[in-house]
Amino acid sequence: MKTTPYTDVHIALGAKMAEFAGFNMPIQYPTGINQEHMIVRTGVGVFDVSHMGEFWVKGEKALDFLQYITTNDVSKLDAGKAQYTCMPNGKGGIVDDLIIYKYSTTKYLMVVNAGNIDKDWEWVNKVKTECLKLSDTEVSLENASDRYAQLAVQGPKATEMLQLLTDADLSAIPYYSFREWSFAGVQGVLLSNTGYTGAGGFELYFPKEHAMQIWNAIFETGKPFGVAPIGLGARDSLRLEKWYCLYGHDIDDTTSPLEAGLGWITKLNAKDFIDKEFLLKQKAEGVKRKLVHFECLERAIPRNGYDICDAEGNKIGHVTSGIMLPDRKVGIGMGYVIVAQADKGNTIYIKIREKLQPAMIV
């Protein structure tokens, strides 16, 4: 398994470790997932997300390349702005969802999911050379994933705490914007007002050689704020509570952006891009299934792969993600169901050990 610069730290802290996307990652610490979830919702927690991938896209046709390979309208980005988007796979599905950072008209950073780094790298190079036939002088690609570490510092107290470690005015960096600045004595740290928890905070990107300097500074400065390390278990529960999709569960190579409720990042009228004609047709005809969010009406925990049924027990879809909320003790989940059963307020049934558990689409 691969490691991050913090693997030994996690082990020393007593984290339960497991393989995730080929990396040895902390799933939870001795505090437990429920407490870690609430720390991020009420205070500040730190996630090691150094397993994520980073691709540099540079050159005079960098924008044209990104416009063609992604669904969102990259031309709307100003320097210092970030954009959530996805890459269609030419077959109606999704290669990956990602964030694009614009440095200038000729320099962009793509941040991709850890489990898709190799697949994404092969895909972007294939599109560049085989589809668009771009030269290296027109567009240069660099897979810099092994050079960077990343920490997500999330929670309502995150910005106040991080401000003590930089003279950049973090309050002046809007949501989905970023700056490169000195942080904890390290020059050129990318400070990004993004995150996958819905709790606020920043994501920090920096060369791996500065990993422990930044980690130690955050945890020393964060003591009065109750800062704590948070594992991937709580990262999953936090993102699901906010209905954020997880690649490999809620979206993948078989799901279209329109089925997944990602029409808001699919700019069909703004530009030409991979699968545009397919998606225009799908929008005109209507999708046959739809990703919905639901809450269980009785005590139950929905799990990935469980059948979703109608009142008569007929299968109408399947669960893609599910948890028991730590605070409300309510089972929630996401899943694909046929469009006829996908309306908000509709009662569906999750098949758990041959019993149909009622849930409401919310």
Q: Is 182 helix (H, G, I), strand (E, B) or coil?
A: strand
Give CATH 3.30.1360.120 domain extents, the chain: 7-49+147-241
CA distance 160 to 128: 42
* Whole-number Cα distances in Å, 248 to 109, 115, 252, 344: 22, 9, 5, 25
pLDDT digits (tens, 9 = 90+) for 240-275: 999 999 999 999 999 999 999 999 999 999 999 999
User: What pLDDT is recorded for position 82?
Assistant: 98
Give 297-334 as a DSSP string: SSS----TT-EEE-TTS-EEEEEEEEEE-TTT--EEEE
Q: Whats the size of the chain, residue-wise? A: 362
The predicted model gives 35-49 an average pLDDT of 98
pLDDT digits (tens, 9 = 90+) for 195-204: 999 999 999 9
Instruction: Tell me if the pTM is above 0.85.
Output: yes
**pLDDT, mean of residues 278-296:** 98
What lies within 8 Å, CB to CB, of 256 at 6+ separation is: 88, 92, 93, 94, 275, 278, 279, 282, 287
pLDDT tens track for 303-353: 999 999 999 999 999 999 999 999 999 999 999 999 999 999 999 999 999
| Cα 99 from Cα 158, distance rounded (Å) | 21
Order of strands, edge to edge, in the sheet holding 228-230? 178-183, 186-192, 201-207, 148-154, 45-48, 228-230
Q: Work out the average pLDDT over 215-236.
A: 98
Which residues, in sequence order, are CB contacts of 118 under 8 Å at separation 6+?
Answer: none
Over residues 164-168, the mean pLDDT reads 98
**CATH 2.40.30.110 location in the chain:** 288-361
Digit-coded pLDDT (tens) for 349-359: 999 999 999 99
**pLDDT at site 251:** 98
Mind listing the pLDDT tens digit for each residue in 99-121?
A: 999 999 999 999 999 999 999 99
Q: For all residues of the chain together, what is the average pLDDT?
A: 98
What is the pLDDT at residue 323? 96
7-49+147-241 domain in CATH 3.30.1360.120?
yes
**Are the CB atoms for 173 and 163 separated by under 8 Å?**
no
Calculate what percentage of the chain has a pLDDT beyond 90: 100
Beta-carbon contacts of 353 under 8 Å, excluding residues fewer than 6 positions away, are: none
**What residues contact residue 252 under an 8 Å CB cut-off, 6+ apart?**
93, 94
What is the arithmetic mean of pLDDT over 11-16? 98
At residue 18, the pLDDT reads 98
Residue 338's pLDDT is 98
In angstroms and rounded to an integer, the radius of gyration of the C-alpha atoms of the chain is 21
CATH code linked to domain 288-361: 2.40.30.110
Residue 135 CA to residue 137 CA, distance in Å, equals 5
β-sheet bridge partners, residue 183: 186
Task: Give the H/E segment covering residue 203.
Answer: strand 201-207
Confidence of residue 218 (pLDDT cuts 50, 70, 90): very high
Q: What is the 3-state secondary structure (H, E, C) of 81-149?
A: EEEEEEEECCCCCEEEEEEEEEEECCEEEEEECHHHHHHHHHHHHHHHHHHCCCCCCCCEEEECHHHEE
CA atoms within 13 A on the CB side of 77: 28
